[in-house]
A = this chain, B = another copy of it.
């Protein structure tokens, strides 16, 4: 068990690491040749231009202004200066709301820490449970003196913890509710203030049923002309361009290689570069690299042309999905929220995602397949969660003093040195865990993609919730009850329902020191490392040196990155979980968490303002998930506290504690009903107001023209002009007429739009216009 001294060493190491990172950042960021690494957002916005264009040669690369070195910490206040509305304007609502997660952390834990330190810590400190335990030969660390462990079993002092648990819960719920309210209103205001955007008018229709008489495009048009006669405007079918996209991608990378070799050749004219054509260029025939790649590109160009023609001609390449646009936002809101036909697996409508966040290749998955995919992924995730732990536990057991001594006895003399021992105990377990976790979000993202979500934001949300569960099982539970997750599962199945919280509850105070070091490694040094952007820095300079020829190349080399919601948010949630679990048990942990939240808030605010460039904007659609996870952390913390208390012979507290999860469950239900619809549905009133305002302001706006180009597969983006007539020309041909009567080949159709209109006196008859 780690002592206070161990923690001190770990803290020193981590603080020093963090300070080194921050210092390096402070110095690197004011060097002009790093400008594009640390301020790419401003370049992308077009506000900042390259510093390489002006000034003396040296000062282009190195900052010689000594004054700026003295002010090296001034990025901190600068990061805090931008007010929130400006931030939303600058970086989007997603980023602004993402920052609020850190703020919530501060709002929840600062008052809780104050309360805990002023009440709980003295109560714990003045007890002597550990003194008594020592007589029975139980060892304990200094930190335990401040924790609930120091209270003797059956003591009346546990009432303090009980009351505090209530206080913490109510405070957390209060903050959560206020925040939900605030974010919901921010989202609504954001959507309300937004400019005209295609997705406001557009609905994604999936599972269009096949019709022997009509093409998908005709079928869609007929359906919506009949069922939304006053609102339907136009539509775009979706092409299966996955192969084309792959070809384009391949061409791009080949082009890159060609550029590289050409640059190499221009620098060294004597030696014409050559490559081997085999696997990874390791063996095979040796050919001239430039010629080879030129030939390759030509071949690819041909293939691309051919594939394009195929997509154009081939009806089987039209997927049974379409983006249907309406004349008004009201019409789109109605269509997105209603069921169209008897069969709820056909003509599925949902609000279209922003064009840039559409995940194109999933658009054609049929309904039954979706259920099967979901099942498969759930099972796969179950196995991933419970078997991924085996290597972690193995390495962690190696990384303990005893483990190393056992597996590598020759290291014993080194390890036994006091300092190194502290390093190993305070540092290694966290690092091991960390390394394992780096690759996980990408795996989970692939799983989400397989599951068939169609927008990037929903992909990320699903990956995030899986990551959270993984973190909970493997990092949180896995660290508390060591042993592989499968062993845990097995032992949990064999334990009784009220024994499980006890088993975990008892281990919680013991593991406090481990989590403190984990917070320092992951939360302090890790966050400080984030601001340094070591990887992008190195890659930028490598690219800059080897590949960049034009200003556009330099732009592409920047790689501003973005908040990877699915990778970062679940990690923050772990801190919420730790904070809430340890608040009534070992309040010593809280300051470490508060420092994490404060530092992370600062760092990410800086990064969001200066670096990150979000790929898409979902309007904070992730908030219900964030809220739900904090609530579940709260419930977990109470169940574990209940388990801990009951082992302390404070069983009379159980009925009081059991009421808390029930109350919180209903608090969650209430919040869900009250605020979640703002994130899922689109109120008609808002749509109507926007429609009305817009009609008044721009009565002659050509909406049809505006919308027709909106949802085109990115590989067609560059050449939609010439393909336009053929791809989505169905509506274009008659773009002058407001309403179209489409001849239908089907004779059995009982209602046709023409009849339906002529016989309805009070509504407009398109055939008359």
Contacts and interface: CB of A to CB of B under 8 A. Distances in A.
A543 to B, nearest CB: 47
B761 A764 contact: no
Interface string A667-680: 00110011111100
Contacts of A334: 334, 338
A666 B340 contact: no
A407 interface: no
Contact of A333 (B338, B666, B670): B338
26 contacts: A223-B685, A227-B684, A333-B338, A334-B338, A337-B337, A338-B681, A339-B684, A342-B686, A344-B673, A344-B677, A344-B681, A367-B674, A371-B666, A371-B673, A375-B662, A375-B666, A493-B497, A494-B497, A495-B496, A495-B497, A689-B750, A691-B756, A692-B750, A692-B751, A695-B759, A738-B762
B755 A699 contact: no
A48 B141 CA distance: 90
Contacts of A689: 750-751
Interface residues of A, number: 72
Interface string A411-445: 00000000000000000000000000000000000
Contact of A497 (B347, B492, B673): B492
Contacts of A691: 756, 760
A674 B345 contact: yes
The A interface, classified by DSSP as helix, strand, loop or mixed, is helix
Given A230-B230, A338-B684, A345 B692 contact: no
Given A367-B673, A751-B693, A759-B696, A685 B342 contact: yes
A188 interface: yes
Contacts of A675: 344
Interface in A139-179: none
A341 to B, nearest CB: 5
Interface string A41-74: 0000000000000000000000000000000000
A660 interface: no
Nearest to A739: B762
A327 interface: yes
Contacts of A678: 342, 344
A755 B696 contact: yes
A751 B493 CA distance: 61
A162 B610 CA distance: 63
A344 to B, nearest CB: 4
Contacts of A692: 750-751, 755-756, 759-760
B683 A340 contact: yes
Interface string A190-229: 0000000000000000000000000000000001001110
Contacts of A759: 692, 695-696, 699
Contacts of A627: none
A276 interface: no
Given A226-B688, A345-B674, A498-B493, A695 B756 contact: yes
A379 interface: yes
Nearest to A750: B689
Given A691-B756, A762-B738, A368 B670 contact: yes
A511 interface: no
A763 interface: yes
Contacts of A292: none
A666 B368 CA distance: 11
A374 interface: yes
Interface string A731-769: 000000011000000000011000110011111101001
Nearest to A685: B341
A761 B622 CA distance: 38
Given A340-B684, A341-B686, A342-B686, 6 more contacts: A338-B681, A340-B685, A342-B685, A494-B497, A688-B751, A762-B764
A755 B327 CA distance: 17
A499 interface: yes
Contacts of A462: none
A606 interface: no
A735 to B, nearest CB: 13
B761 A699 contact: yes
Interface in A642-681: 662-663, 666, 669-670, 673-678, 681
Contacts of A498: 493-494
A713 interface: no
A631 to B, nearest CB: 15
A333 B341 CA distance: 12
Contact of A756 (B228, B673, B688): B688
